[in-house]
A and B are shown apart, each in its own frame.
Chain A
Amino acid sequence: MESVLQYVLYLLILVALAIPLGRYISKVMNGEKVVLSRVLAPCERGIYKVLHIDEKEDMSWKKYAGSVIAFSAISLVILTAILMLQKFLPWNPEGIGGMSWHLAFNTSSSFVTNTNWQAYSGESALSYFSQAMGLTVQNFVTPAVGICVLYALIRGFLHLKHKGIGNFWQDMTRSLLYVLIPLSMIVTVLLVSQGVLQNLSGYQTVDLVEPITTEDGTVVTQQVIPMGPQASQVAIKQLGTNGGGYNGVNSASPLENPTPFSNLIEMISLLLIPAALCFSFGRSIKDKKQGRAVFLAMFILLVVSLGIVAYSEQAATPQMSQDGMVDLSTVDQAGGNMEGKETRFGIATSATWAVFTTAASNGSVNSMHDSYTPMGGMIPMLLMQLGEVVFGGVGCGLYGMLGFAILTVFIAGLMVGRTPEYLGKKIEPREMKMAVLVCLATPIGILVGSGIAAALPATADSLNNGGAHGFSELLYAYSSAGGNNGSAFAGFNANTPFLNVSIGLVMLFVRFTPILAILAIAGSMARKNKVAVSAGTLSTTNGMFVFLLIFVVLLIGALSFFPALSLGPIAEQLQSLGL
């Protein structure tokens, strides 16, 4: 019973915080006055002045897109350089060497696309400089880019016969200054109060109570405690749906996530802004019901997913229970499938995180998804394959879902034989083509990538498990890249030149194709006039629309991925039950 209460409260806290934050973000992005304006407005003006930004410039969609691409390309090049040259840079007390070119390319693509796929372990592969000045910076700016593109689309719907869709640099500055930086500071302090590390000292070694004798007879008497500026990076990794852990095992590590309270903060943070943006969208579009309808579609998918994972993980597998020789009950313990899960989190807190992190394109973990039951591991994979639209990444989840909404009104329009319209704007062939690009980028990226990888014999060496589960590891890797998620079936060794480069390319493709398509939609919408609402207009705020939207999302996901899923988790589930 306690676990049901946990599930319900996690969801309630999320919604209760998302609604006011949504209002706040909407005000910030509309340029209205907010609580922090008194302090931050002068800073904002200062930034424009120093950087020679003309904040009054209203950009065309091409200029806006050009700015996004230029900014991301510069980020990609400089971050790759930092990672390869970290040996020669400051803040490296452990003297960690540079990354190989392919791992550096993979890592920078990953962080520039808000994916945070990690083919390395942070505590042994990165200096403090790379973590703070390289990765943390991307953790801040990539969710900001997501919010910018979302707001460009919103303005596209609002503007009438107009060319501009806003100013990219102003949108970036506002989302960073008023939203991401203040929230991160609060979360950092809360996390440090729970024991998350935050320092710039070298790694510490402490004595072991029982020395360990290794197989070759060496006696090990000490244990290492990796140090570093962890809390500050963990805060924005959660808030920005980035997900790249400071340590290899991410938020399962007691150093990154030591208590149930630190976990509560991190877990709510990871879904908070994507959920809040639904309400920001409704307020900014001046029709709150539109935001609520999209939120509801996402929330229903979230709750159903959570139910399946929670049930599967509590039930565990016959292989684990051993006909009752192992106690899986909930008496004085969490029970269930505890392989890859931490005692302080148990089943409820781990399952909730697994669903939140793959619904949002966060990808941080507090338990090892590779060790989930076949069904418990399939749902997170499916959530990524749906294109990360169940809340999804900051900004990108919602604009992805709006792509699906356009597709939905088009299909519904076909059924009743009317020209489709959304938010008062007519949907014409050009917008439809772009919306299809948004919806299909993820399936194309995942299926092409994993298809090629599966055909290469060398890929087998990277697998940690055999049989159907081995295929699941591969499929999960490309699903994670293709959803810009970043979580992993972590036994999979992805650090090979082929995997690094191909996964890197998939991440770039699925991030920037939808961004360009959405900005193109924004541009053409802005130029259109509003159409009058008539009796024949399909309502996009009622239960019918919510149902249709969910249906279209699932239909595209199911049609694209059912064959692949049946070779992986579904086959494994049947084998496990001895069928």
Chain B
Amino acid sequence: MRPPTFARSLVICAATIVLLLFLEGALNVVMAQNPFGAPRPSGGELQVGGIVGWLLAKQSEFYREMSSTLRAAKSDGSAVWTLFAISFAYGIFHAAGPGHGKAVISAYLVANQETARRGIVLSFASALMQSLVAVVIVAICAWLLNASAKTMCGTEKVVEIASYALIAAFGARLVWTKGGGFMRALQTPSPSLALAAHHHDHGPAHDYHDHGSHVHDEHCGHSHAPEPVELAGPGGWQRGLSAILAVGVRPCSGAILILVFALAQGLFWAGIAATFVMGIGTAITVATIAVIAVSAKDLARRLSAGREGRGAIFMRGVEFAAAGLVLLFGAGLLFGYVAAERVTCF
């Protein structure tokens, strides 16, 4: 078989990425049409076009229902179950919104040789961490110290900046490692790349246990393919932990508002439970997107495999680009170029 050209593989990969883009859009359509068997509302109250407007309207609706249900739960205990159901739905919808979480996690998964399973675990861990941070902030500031909204907001801002700095640092570390892998792939003459892939690198990349260089033989049917266990080895979880920290440390403003409201209603426990249920909903959406990202990369990898040096260069390039994106994203958030959900301070 004639080996496909590099240009062709690029086209295939570009197509994959575009496909991914539409998949996310399609996911939104599916969710919009049938979230929980609910029919699409017919025109009328829809102000903004199509799916986006509908998503927005739903989010606002769920969000507002959370506080009204909390109020109702004061006199009627069974309303708590409604509250949990709404919180779950809100979490699912909200994660489809402006979240640096899913962007960073997806880019991280693409930059590393991550499995879909790890993507799911990372999504859940970071979403639950996010819930935990919101609960801890409100518990300490509002419940224990009875601090004012201004103080609480100040705390939120500090945590937010720290979180962005963490993402940027995390991205910088990824760029450093992936840049190395990419440069090596570029410098290695094509015929000997298969050989190069067999030796372990002891450069800075070693921290990350860069499995990237194994990909080539893995897909060329060589015998030195890494075992799945090795891929998610102990070192792997450690670096996964930094992803969870970077993404999960920044709480959602909505959760904080709801928690303070619950505290004022004397139903702090219900607010805490609702926050975690919300986190599970968020995790489901983020995990879905993460799995799509991993599958797209797998597809690209399969398409570029067996293409000697160039395929490897291309994959290292994709990883490097994804690492760069995490860095850009972190820096963008830190310096305000990327708009995130605003912290309520007024």
| A and B co-occur in one complex | no
Residues of B at the A interface (CB closer than 8 Å) are none
